[in-house]
Chains A and B, each alone.
Chain A
Amino acid sequence: MERLGEKYQSVEAFGWAARDSSGHLSPFVFSRRETGEEEVRVKVLYCGVCHSDLHCLKNEWHSSIYPLVPGHEIVGEVAEIGRKVSKFSIGDKIGVGCIVDSCRACESCREDQENYCTKSVATYNGVHYDGTVNYGGYSDHIVVDECYAVKIPHTLPLASAAPLLCAGISMYSPMKYFGLAGQGKHIGIVGLGGLGHIGVRFAKAFGSKVTVVSSTAGKSKDALENFGADGFLVSTNEDQMQAAMGTMDGIIDTVSASHPILPLVGLLKPNGKLVLLGATEKPFDLHAFSLILGRKSIAGSAIGGIKETQEMINFAAEHGIKAEIETISMEYVNTAMDRLAKGDVRYRFVIDIANTLAVTRS
């Protein structure tokens, strides 16, 4: 396969990459472009480990370009700014999420929904408009157009803010769009992982009532005592699921593995909405009756636009919302990936790039 992005660019960069679909990460010297007029160069401080990183490393979506440097929950410090940059100054703490560019002209882009632009450019494993492959945040620095970065308020601790850039916006956006955010609304959150636990915190901050639906009974204590959920259902417990039927205004389903959705549709009140976030390859079985009797619906959602991401970050700062993280060294990342594959993380790994990446360079 043609190795794109090997065209030499002017600034040396260092990170960790996978060379093939084993997904095994190791030190990788590469290069990034010069800082453009409207771009900022960001020294990466922290990068969250998203389940998408794992999917991509293993080429589960059949579109991975190797060498692959993952990472799209990036928090860093502005080290250099292009001469037309107005949003940021050197030293600002900023975040970069899942996309670093888009066409800027289509209806989605014009409505601040760059995430739905069909030509949006992914932070990693995407092809930039100059033809080079993008490398993500498991690296020492990144160059990004100022329009695709967000400011991190100083009240937000940086390491635990990193996961907000993908997990956070992925939960915040559908709660707002589908009218589930607020007093009197009962939201179900399926899956208590990286996305789910942040979702509980956002939903509580919105004033919604929250029930977590999980296959792991052992997470009930965290759900109720640490994250503030009002209820916890074990999805394999038929009695509990039956008792909760017809009680939820909406459900945000974060589970990416294939699973039956009929029981989840049953939890919805009439007019209720099930929002799917997991990028599952295998289609689900849809029982038309389950939607028709009760006028229910199933929708999808994917992250959010940049403007909404900034709004979400500001909201998180105002309400003291952060991710529950396990900070790791760069060297630990392969072990972290193995643990992530087994769901063994409470609840997001965040790589301490600033303090642990450089030492791995031999």
Chain B
Amino acid sequence: MAKSPETEHPNKAFGWAAKDKSGVLSPFHFSRRDNGDNDVTVKILYCGVCHTDLHTIKNDWGFSYYPVVPGHEIVGIATKVGKNVTKFREGDRVGVGVITGSCQSCESCNQDLENYCPQMSFTYNSIGSDGTKTYGGYSESIVVDQRFVLQFPEGLPSDSGAPLLCAGITVYSPMKYYGMTEPGKHLGVAGLGGLGHVAVKIGKAFGLKVTVISSSPSKEDEAINRLGADSFLVSSDSQKMKAAIGTMDYIIDTVSAVHALFPLLGLLKVNGKLVTLGLPEKPLELPIFPLVLGRKMVGGSDIGGMKETQEMLEFCAKHNITADIELIKMDEINTAMERLAKSDVRYRFVIDVANSLSPP
């Protein structure tokens, strides 16, 4: 008979889970494995709320295995380290991001691209290397193989640094890979949410000119005056969109819902590149003429490998880049999810896990 989540592993654990596709989260008792020789046990301080968490609890993509304990922007303190662990000591401030397992021997893993390993497993809603389901950071603690734990740099705050573990690496990695780092070049950031606002900050740190493209005119003031964007385009303003045609070297498209690519492709110069990061549950329409007539490209990207994630954290610490967050208590999570679905957050919710999660 299959073991229940509570008895599967030897150590009691507590978190909040969604039990069905209503997505409503509530207290949940489960269990975690013993700290193995290669493992680090992390007492969770903060966990960011990513749009992926929302997609998953609602089963938008059709592969949610309930109960789901989301959360993959985790910052905490190492409380136990296995005897083979060399990179971390008890008491270290550490981060855990989107993935917690990979084969560690394929071509991708050997190139520090664990995120593209065909056997990669996610921090939650996945089958881990030990064959059991993974539960994420909306919980008291987590046990993770040292390869998938990150040093949290001094000077990077735990709460506003947490979203970098997904949002940060998700925009940093394609900006490096697709060559979007030449100072003076013009970057468009479509969507000003969790990913978008971090992309603006990282883009400015690379020395790029940054234009935000957004459907929310009310975000203009903050985009320019607080986040440092050079300009702001309202996507429904056809005149301004027309005037900006052929002006951008690259676009990072963070919009999570189905949206039109045609106007964004028009903003690109010849040879321009658009990286799509959102994961809508329906296909996007890809118009061909703009690609062919301007040798333009639409590419994807999926977080980043562990080495690059560490590099990104150091980069953000050096340039004082953190997320703009709204700190919430664990029992406010359902309201936060409703607001997130309406893009009503500036710009990432972060759960104060240590101070608000307690078993009933």
Contact = CB atoms under 8 A, between A and B. Distances in A.
Given A108-B270, A293-B302, A285 B293 contact: no
Contacts of B299: 291, 295-298
Contact of A293 (B283, B298, B300): B300
B87 interface: no
A280 B302 contact: no
B36 interface: no
A278 B177 CA distance: 27
The contact size tier of chain B is 35 or more
Contacts of A296: 299-300
- Which residue of B174, B177, B285, B300 has the most chain A CB atoms within 10 A of its CB atom? B300
A288 B287 CA distance: 14
Interface in B261-309: 261-262, 269-271, 273, 276-280, 283-302
B284 A300 contact: no
A177 B246 CA distance: 21
A295 B300 contact: yes
A291 B300 contact: yes
A288 B278 contact: yes
A299 interface: yes
Interface string A292-307: 1111111111100000
Interface string B318-330: 0000000000000
B116 interface: yes
A58 B298 CA distance: 31
B134 to A, nearest CB: 18
B119 interface: no
A3 interface: no
A105 to B, nearest CB: 14
Contact of B298 (A177, A277, A299, A302): A299
Interface in A239-281: 261, 270, 273, 276-281
Contacts of A113: 270
Given A283-B287, A286-B283, A292 B292 contact: no
Contacts of A108: 270
B108 interface: yes
B116 A286 contact: no
A268 B340 CA distance: 34
B300 A270 contact: no
Contacts, number: 112
Given A292-B279, A300-B294, A279 B300 contact: no
A300 B276 contact: no
A298 B285 contact: no
Contacts of B283: 285-288
Given A287-B283, A295-B301, A302 B292 contact: yes
A330 B116 CA distance: 55
Interface residues of A, dominant DSSP: mixed
B270 A107 contact: yes
A291 B288 contact: no
B270 A116 contact: yes
Nearest to B294: A116
A184 to B, nearest CB: 13
B292 to A, nearest CB: 4
Contact of A283 (B113, B286, B301): B286
Nearest to A301: B295
Contacts of B292: 276-279, 300-302
A332 interface: no
Given A116-B295, A291-B300, A292-B300, A300 B286 contact: no
Contacts of A297: 273, 297-300
Given A279-B292, A301-B292, A301-B295, A294 B300 contact: yes
A249 to B, nearest CB: 13
- Which residue of A285, A292, A301 has the most chain B CB atoms within 10 A of its CB atom? A292
Given A270-B108, A301-B292, A292 B286 contact: no
A284 interface: yes
Contact of B302 (A118, A277, A294, A298): A294
B46 to A, nearest CB: 26
- Which residue of A113, A279, A299, A300 has the most chain B CB atoms within 10 A of its CB atom? A300
A281 B293 CA distance: 13
Contact of B297 (A116, A288, A289, A299): A299
Interface in B64-79: none
Interface in B168-203: 174, 177
Given A283-B286, A295-B300, A295-B302, A300 B116 contact: no
Contacts of A291: 276, 298-300
A260 B349 CA distance: 38
Interface string A22-49: 0000000000000000000000000000
Contacts of A118: 246
A283 B288 contact: yes
Contacts of A289: 61, 279
A299 B295 contact: yes
B301 A292 contact: yes
A281 B291 CA distance: 12
A171 to B, nearest CB: 14
A136 B149 CA distance: 64
- Which residue of B283, B295, B302 has the most chain A CB atoms within 10 A of its CB atom? B295
B302 A288 contact: no
Contact of A285 (B270, B276, B286, B300): B286
A262 to B, nearest CB: 9
Contacts of B289: 279, 281
Interface in B122-171: none
B110 to A, nearest CB: 13
Interface string B230-273: 00000000000000001000000000000001100000011101
B285 A285 contact: yes
A259 B280 CA distance: 22
A288 B302 CA distance: 11
A287 B284 CA distance: 6
Given A113-B270, A286-B284, A292-B279, A300 B301 contact: no
Given A284-B288, A292-B302, 7 more contacts: A107-B270, A118-B246, A283-B288, A288-B278, A297-B299, A300-B288, A300-B293
State the 4 A-B residue pairs at the shortest beta-carbon distance, nearest first.
A291-B300, A300-B291, A297-B299, A300-B292
Interface of A: 107-108, 113, 116, 118, 177, 261, 270, 273, 276-281, 283-302
13 contacts: A107-B269, A270-B116, A280-B288, A283-B287, A286-B276, A288-B280, A288-B300, A293-B116, A293-B300, A298-B286, A299-B295, A300-B292, A301-B292
